Amino acid sequence: MTTDPTAGTAPARTAESTSVDHPPIPGTALWVLAHPRPASLNGHLFRAGTEALAADREVSTSDLYAEGFDPVLNEQDLGSHADRPGNLAQLAGDAYREGTADAAVRAEHGKLARSELLVLQFPLWWYGPPAILKGWLDRVLTDGFAYDDSLDPELGVPRRYGDGGLTRRRALVVVTVGEDARTLGPRGLSGDLDSLLFPLTHGALWYTGIETLDLHVVHDADGLDAAGVRHETRRLTERLARIDAEPSRPYRRLRDGDYPAGLRALHPDLAPGRTDLGIHRTREDSPTG
């Protein structure tokens, strides 16, 4: 079944904590597409993927170009205090808490708050997501909704990076690229794709508590023939059919002590001598186990 709820939600709070928290509804998914052409490969994969997911769960969709989603943060996003100096994320949080956020943003809040699986689909443009998806992150993952300023009550660390308002969710990033696996590999001319998308998977999703699965990459997307399209469609739908059993690849959690207070960097005894972004993935050499 495919649904498209538009009602926003307020932060769920418990007697033990005043932290923002949005428990997802089991068996739900939100698929966000950032591509301007419905007749494209991305459009085809979007339709096939959402249909496959809808066979056994409720699927909400956000086709950003088709819906005319405005990626630009505006005055309404900043609430009643938009004219005062301050952190824009905090001002956007004010608008969320006041219930004055733009209707399109409230709709995205509602869909994301209920979904336990998030699919982000886009073509790789200039080695990153299209601007419209970056704007979706800017306007939807706001202070007060996706995270807040609360501290872990036991450890006194911020509820970020593996904690926050969107925990108990997993994300699948589906990305089409025009280059082959070698060119976008660990030693590739264009850089490693996992590293190129680190700002998305770690800096946005993991920051708010969402675990990520391995990237789903469609290589040489510009040159696929009909047989290639059928192959990629089958590869995506087969992966979606077993996605509930697929392990995530979480990054290190801030609360686990791998980043000592005051250092703001990985503990020197962990992955010594390395500076690649892979050091932030969970590993067995963590001092906390």
> Which residue matches tokens 């997911």?
53
User: What interhelical angle do 226-241 and 41-53 show, nearest 10?
Assistant: 30
Question: For position 91, what pLDDT does the model report?
Answer: 61
For residue 117, the model assigns a pLDDT of: 98
Highest mean pLDDT among 76-80, 235-239, 244-248: 235-239
Q: Beta partners for 158?
A: 151
Angle in degrees, CA 81, 86, 91, rounded to 5? 45
Lowest mean pLDDT among 55-59, 77-81, 163-167: 77-81
Q: Which conformational region is residue 163 in: left (phi greater than 0), alpha (psi within -120 to 50 degrees), or beta?
A: beta
pLDDT at 77 over 90: no
Arithmetic mean of pLDDT over the chain:
87
Closest listed residue to residue 195, CA positions, set 130, 127, 247, 141: 127
Q: pLDDT-based confidence at 150, cuts 50/70/90?
A: confident
Considering only the C-alpha atoms of the chain, give the largest distance between any 2 of them, rounded to a whole number of Å. 57
CA-wise closest residue to 219 among 193, 242, 255, 198: 193
pTM of the full structure? 0.88
Domains of the chain: 28-256 (3.40.50.360)
**Residue 122 to residue 173: CA distance in whole angstroms:** 8
Q: Which residues pair with 121 in a beta bridge?
A: 33, 174
**Residue 22 to residues 44, 177, 210, Cα–Cα distance (Å):** 31, 33, 12
Task: Return the residue matching tokens 């060119």.
Answer: 183
Backbone angles phi, psi at 33, to 5 degrees: -110, 135
In angstroms, the CA 49 to CA 72 distance is 28
Could you report the per-residue pLDDT of 8-51, keeping only the tens digit for each? 344 443 333 448 999 999 999 999 999 999 999 999 999 999 99
Considering only residues 14 and 280, tell me which one the structure prediction assigns the higher pLDDT.
Answer: 280
pLDDT tens digits along 90-144: 666 667 777 778 899 999 999 999 999 999 999 999 999 999 999 999 999 999 9
* Rounded CA Rg of the chain: 19
Contacts of 134 by beta carbon, 8 Å cutoff, 6+ apart: 71, 128
- Mean pLDDT within 62-74: 95
What percentage of the chain has pLDDT greater than the value 70? 85
What's the CA gap between 118 and 80, in Å, rounded? Answer: 31
* Band of pLDDT at residue 164, cut at 50, 70 and 90: very high
Confidence of residue 79 (pLDDT cuts 50, 70, 90): low
- pLDDT at position 87 is 62
Residue 198 CA to chain centroid, in angstroms? Answer: 11
Q: Reply yes or no on whether the pLDDT at 3 is more than 50.
A: no
Residue 80 has pLDDT above 60, yes or no: no
Give the C-alpha separation, 242 to 247, whole Å.
Answer: 10
Residue with tokens 């068996």: 27
In this predicted structure, what is the pLDDT of residue 92?
64
In contact, 31 and 59? CB cutoff 8 Å: yes
CA dihedral 143, 145, 148, 152 (to 10 degrees): -160
How far apart are alpha carbons 182 and 177 in whole angstroms? 12
State yes or no: pLDDT of 187 exceeds 70: yes
Number of CB atoms found within 10 A of residue 11's CB = 16
pLDDT digits (tens, 9 = 90+) for 239-269: 999 999 999 988 999 999 999 876 689 999 9
- CA dihedral over 2, 137, 216, 218, signed as positive or negative: positive
**Mean of the pLDDT values across residues 272-287?**
77
Which pLDDT score, from 0 to 100, does residue 76 have? 80
Distance CA(41)–CA(54), nearest Å, equals 20
